[in-house]
Structure 1
């Protein structure tokens, strides 16, 4: 196809460098996982019970045998400590950035085949020889995109992804508000189901080149520190303060009710593992973690004023009987 010359302007090519310029770029975290499963020939995956449904679904759709494991109260894996067979792999989720590099290396030594999910820890660098995946839209204003660190190159032809039609809710919120485009966001997320493996879109890659990662990391760390000072939270998810935290995990004994009260003040706190609340016993650790740990936003969009306001509203809502 001949290159177009002239006409109206498109988005400029942004200057800068991606945070992971040397990793494989794909369209979604779940398809990054599918890439690994197919390329390495895994027939069985061992997943945590405390997990979003999208990972389970991609495995089921591709006829991968699934076995589940629980975590103990310190987030340690409760699964027999033995080397896995060549076609088996253990899936480790770095919940709120609590999984240290030392722990990852120890799990690799014990089980051999592991995949590390750094969806909540974008700034935690991958370890050599350990398959690691990252999801971009959990940290940045993009509609899709994922990075994959692996020594297994994909052998098939990977088509290019296109993101322009998925940007409505992101661009709309920039100019207006989240509520106006909430349905568009849900529609966009639903479209990821059954998506094939594709290369990261040129649009997403360009936007990721335009981010000041050092500044964003600093703001996340400062905001987390403010919330930690104003809203002390004694839970397993606050024991490690990761580089550039994903959110501030705040424990409340009745998290579901507090979420509703915060939403009335336009402070929106998601439930990341709604499927866990629907399938696990109410007295299980997994249910408790999903329901009562509130991921309060502390990202680069905000500063001290918003953190102090949010902390004050949280305290006010907690006092309501």
Structure 2
């Protein structure tokens, strides 16, 4: 019998959750691990421009890895898959269209799409697809996986109550006060085993206004693009529910520093690429010179315009 009475815990939310029919797991890298196990993957073709959180997954499962390059259109080079080799494709900044993904599926078949930066782009039919929750919403963990393969073992549930302090801290105070906790939470997932999504994270995801968030992110990306497309070296589509606005521009290091001085924080999303690749590589250039500008649901036109003007001034 569960406890009855006592103090009331965190509220239970009952609104519809986006991707409620997917497999709910604790993080994106473990959604990949789930596929490796359930698909019995031994060989994989992997992008050079990828965060190092997946390196441990590749190592733990002793995968035979072959790396491929992408172009400045953020699409993969043309390759030939070897026997039993799978192809892992990242949908950078949500720039891969549904039609492009369908063509990849037709050509390569053994395809995994990483939609960590494209939460609002629905999975293509028959394509294994990974979504990461904490890049889009105020949760400390969580991922969604779409696949028709099943794992033949039971998974324990993760628990998030010890990880939530930096989220509620920033809600009432400043990001800088809790940044070290945020960074530590990111580091946790290098060693976190494959688990089901925590009940707390799933509950929060049932309380989110997805329509508002999708609309606000799309609008904000559009504001940036209208003002900055003429100087942006990327030819971009406006994705629905955008992740961030990728401004690919010369002198990005100096601009990024100036913005930080103005308390406009722009991450370097793939710092490991700067160590792994040569300066002549496209991936090095993209990782160093794309400034990811925030366009999420916290901001309206006023904040986006402030960032635009700051960029113009520097």
Shorter-chain TM-score: what band?
over 0.9
Alignment match of 1:195 (pick from 192, 196, 207): 192
Match of 2:255 in 1: 258
Equivalent runs, 1:150-299 vs 2, <5 Å: 150-232=147-229, 233-236=231-234, 238-299=235-296
Question: Per-residue deviation at 1:79?
Answer: 4.6
> Map of 1:63-142 to 2, 5 A cutoff?
63-82=62-81, 84-86=82-84, 88-142=85-139
By how many angstroms is 1:77 displaced? 2.3
Any idea what SS the aligned residue of 1:115 has?
A: strand
1:215-274 deviation per Cα after TM superposition (whole angstroms, max 9, x unaligned): 1111111111211222224333x4221111111111220212211111100000000000
Residues of 2 paired with 1:189 and 1:234: CA distance? Answer: 30
What is the alpha-carbon distance in structure 1 between the residues aligned to residue 19 and residue 89 of structure 2? 21
User: What is the SS of the residue equivalent to 1:90?
Assistant: strand
1:30 is displaced (CA, Å) by 0.2
Gaps of 5+ in 1: none
Q: Do the aligned partners of 2:17 and 2:205 also contact (CA within 8 Å) in 1?
A: yes
> Do 1:58 and 1:194's aligned partners in 2 also have CA atoms closer than 8 Å?
no
SS in 2 for 1:116: strand
Q: Matches of 1:107 and 1:124 in 2, distance apart?
A: 16
Displacement of 1:81: 3.1
Partner of 2:33 in structure 1? Answer: 34
CA contact (8 A) 1:276 1:287 kept: yes
Question: What is the distance in 2 between the residues matched to 1:193 and 1:265?
Answer: 32
- Following TM superposition, by how much is the alpha carbon of 1:136 offset from its aligned partner in structure 2, in angstroms? 0.2
User: CA 1:74 to 1:308, structure 2 compared with 1: closer, same or farther past 3 Å?
Assistant: closer
CA distance in 2, matches of 1:14, 1:137: 18
Question: Which segments of 5 or more consecutive residues in structure 2 lack a partner in the other structure?
Answer: none
1:23 corresponds to which residue?
A: 22
Q: Quote the RMSD (CA, aligned, Å).
A: 1.3
SS of the residue corresponding to residue 87 of structure 2 reads: strand
| 1:83-129 deviations in Å (ceiling 9; x for gaps) | x423x210000000111111111111221201000001000000111
Counterpart position of 1:59: 58
Say which SS state the counterpart of residue 66 (structure 1) adopts: strand
SS at match of 2:167: helix
For normalisation by structure 2, the TM-score amounts to 0.96
Deviations 1:11-68 (A, max 9, x none): 1111301110110000000000000011111101110111111112211122111110
Task: Find the counterpart in structure 2 of residue 312 from structure 1.
Answer: 309
Aligned pairs, number: 313
Check whether the contact 2:233–2:249 (CA below 8 A) recurs between aligned residues.
no
What does residue 9 of structure 1 align with?
8
CA distance in 2, matches of 1:77, 1:221: 25
When normalised by structure 1's length, the TM-score is 0.94
